[in-house]
């Protein structure tokens, strides 16, 4: 199956070519701010992708194949599932279904982020932005004031995604040489970015703080107690996100002038 990934390489070349063209004619300030915000995300991605690179190497992928697969799959859980399925010799259909379930939370993230896009943004730009949504890109996008532009989002995603992909490729090359403790320590960096996303708004709004605390507690409970523990992490995230966000929307609605 790893050999079959080569069929997808031409699509990646087209994608890498189109993404910069979509932002080249827009505001340079938006592009520079997107690159600025995407850099720390990319640094965290690079570190985490090292461990994924080790898994990819065990699955028989070359560094170039690992780079391509990472660029097309922007979630660590989904990518780990991909490499595991390749190692198991699973079919394309089985692999596609598993990755879809693992990454299904991005449907919610995309729906939420679409509310901040300008009305003049075209369908092609929206599709590319949808392709580039990750937890961290969603975080910086939803926390940015005003309407979002494709320049900002695509610039941030492109830099972060390239570093994510490069990390996987480097992990395939040298990941097995590094001590296991060092690889594990590097993986912790990604959680620092999540804290950087949730702490500032939690300081400004106590409702957000309560929602964050409840989300952490609910996520822990769902992963260890009852029927929810039998579901995939992606499905648990979907359920908890819908329930908690709906509850807070009903109990603590945001006034129109503050939206």
Residues 6+ apart with CB under 8 A from 109: 133, 135, 138
pTM (2 d.p.): 0.64
Q: Which pLDDT score is estimated for 97?
A: 80
Place of tokens 């992708």: 49
Q: Which pLDDT score is estimated for 201?
A: 79
In whole angstroms, what is the distance from residue 155 CA to residue 166 CA? 17
Place of tokens 């898994």: 55
CA dihedral of residues 14, 15, 18, 20 (deg, nearest 10): -130
For the record, the structure tokens of 246 come out as: 């709906």
Tens digit of pLDDT at every position of the chain (259 positions): 545 445 455 555 555 555 555 544 557 888 888 899 899 888 888 888 887 888 888 888 889 999 999 998 888 778 887 888 888 787 888 788 878 877 888 888 888 888 888 877 888 888 888 888 888 898 888 888 888 888 889 999 999 999 999 999 988 887 667 676 776 666 565 566 567 767 887 888 888 889 889 988 998 998 888 788 887 766 777 788 788 888 888 888 866 544 4
For the record, the structure tokens of 139 come out as: 């975080």
Alpha-carbon distances of 62 from 6, 68, 158, rounded to whole Å:
10, 10, 22
Q: Which pLDDT score is estimated for 183?
A: 61
Q: Which pLDDT score is estimated for 6?
A: 53
């Amino acid at each position: 199956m790893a050999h079959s990934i080569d069929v997808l390489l031409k699509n990646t070349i087209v994608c890498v070519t189109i993404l910069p063209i979509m932002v080249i004619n827009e505001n340079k300030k938006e592009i520079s701010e997107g690159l600025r915000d995407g850099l720390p995300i990319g640094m965290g991605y690079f570190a985490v992708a090292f461990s994924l690179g080790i898994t990819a190497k065990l699955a028989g992928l070359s560094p170039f194949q690992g780079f391509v697969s990472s660029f097309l799959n922007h979630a660590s859980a989904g990518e780990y599932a991909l490499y595991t399925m390749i190692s198991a010799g699973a079919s394309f259909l089985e692999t596609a279904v598993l990755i879809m379930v693992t990454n299904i939370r991005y449907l919610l993230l995309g729906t939420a982020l679409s509310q901040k896009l300008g009305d003049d943004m075209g369908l092609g730009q929206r599709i590319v932005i949808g392709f580039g949504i990750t937890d961290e890109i969603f975080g910086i996008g939803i926390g940015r004031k005003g309407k979002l532009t494709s320049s900002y989002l695509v610039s941030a995603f492109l830099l972060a995604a390239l570093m994510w992909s490069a990390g996987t490729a480097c992990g395939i090359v040298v990941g097995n040489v590094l001590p296991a403790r060092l690889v594990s320590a590097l993986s912790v960096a990604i959680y620092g970015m999540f804290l950087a996303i949730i702490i500032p708004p939690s300081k400004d709004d106590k409702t957000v703080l309560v929602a964050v605390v409840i989300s952490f507690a609910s996520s822990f409970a769902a992963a260890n107690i009852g029927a929810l523990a039998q579901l995939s992490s992606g499905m648990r995230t979907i359920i908890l996100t819908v329930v908690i966000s709906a509850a807070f929307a009903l109990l603590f609605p945001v006034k129109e002038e503050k939206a």
